[in-house]
Homo-oligomer: A and B are copies of this chain.
C-alpha cells in the first residue's frame, strides 16, 4: 500500500528545496528505475506493481523499502503524464570534488544551462561519448530535477555530475595547463582547429551563451560554422552544439 505520506513525499520531490532537504530524488518509468537499480546509486524506496516485481525478482534483495501496489496508486503519486509500473526514490550521491584527472580527461562544464530537457540530453550525449564528468555552474538547473532525470535516459546514473563555482574550477584548470574550450561566434572553425584529447568544453546559456566572466577563462575559442546561405539560422540548440563538439573531439 502506498500511504498518503509516501505520495506526499514523492510529489514533494518535484521541488529542488525538498530534494535538497531530504537528499532524495525521483526516478520514474520502468527503464529509468531499472537503470537506477543497476547503478551504484542507492534506491531507498521502490514503488511497483506485482507485474514489475515478477520481471525483476532480484529486486527484493537490493532495495531498502519495497512497496507493491497497483497502477492506479502509482498513477496517483506520479509526476509523469503517463506513468508506468514503477517509480524509485533514490538517494543523491554527495556532490563530488570535480578536479580529477584533468590531464587525461575530457570534461563538460555547463555555464547556466536553464532547460531541464537540455541538461538531460547533454548528460545522455556525455554518456555516449565516454565523457565521465559534467561540471555544472551553481545557477545551472538541478541535475536531479525529474525532467532532467527523464531526459537523461539513465545517463544520470552513469555520468558523474558536480556543482561548483565554475570560475574557480576553470582557474584551477588553467593553472594546471588544461585547455579550456568554449564556443563563440567569432571562434576558430571547430572542423579545422586541432583539438586536444583532454580538456574542458564550456557550454553556455540557451539565450545568452557563455557569460562574460566565464568567457575570460576560455583559452581556446571555437565555433561550429553554419552552412546556411543568406538569411536566418542564427543558432543551434545548446544540446545540439554539445553533440557536435563532443563528436569533433572524439573522432580521429
Which of A's residues lie within 8 Å of B, judged by CB?
35, 38, 117, 121, 124-125, 127-130, 153-155, 157-158, 191, 224, 226-229, 231-237, 239-240, 243-244, 247-248, 250-252
Contacts and interface: CB of A to CB of B under 8 A. Distances in A.
Given A227-B250, A247-B248, 11 more contacts: A38-B231, A124-B233, A124-B237, A125-B240, A127-B232, A128-B233, A130-B229, A158-B232, A191-B251, A224-B247, A244-B244
Contact of A240 (B191, B228, B243): B243
Contacts of A128: 226-228, 233, 235-236
A248 to B, nearest CB: 8
Contacts of A127: 228, 232-233
Nearest to A192: B251
A251 B127 CA distance: 24
Contacts of A250: 227
A199 B129 CA distance: 27
The quantity of this chain's copies bound in the complex is 2
Nearest to A127: B233
Contact of A244 (B157, B228, B232, B247): B247
Contacts of A252: 191
Nearest to A158: B232
Contacts of A231: 38, 158
B130 A232 contact: no
A249 to B, nearest CB: 10
20 contacts: A117-B117, A121-B237, A121-B240, A124-B237, A127-B228, A127-B233, A128-B228, A128-B235, A130-B227, A130-B229, A153-B234, A153-B235, A155-B233, A158-B232, A191-B252, A227-B250, A236-B243, A237-B239, A239-B240, A243-B243
Contacts of A235: 124, 128, 153
A128 B227 CA distance: 6
A124 to B, nearest CB: 6
A244 B243 CA distance: 7
Nearest to A232: B158
Closest 6 CB pairs of A and B: A130-B227, A127-B233, A191-B251, A240-B243, A158-B232, A128-B233
Among A128, A243, A251, max chain B CB count under 10 A is at A128
B158 A233 contact: yes
Nearest to A224: B247
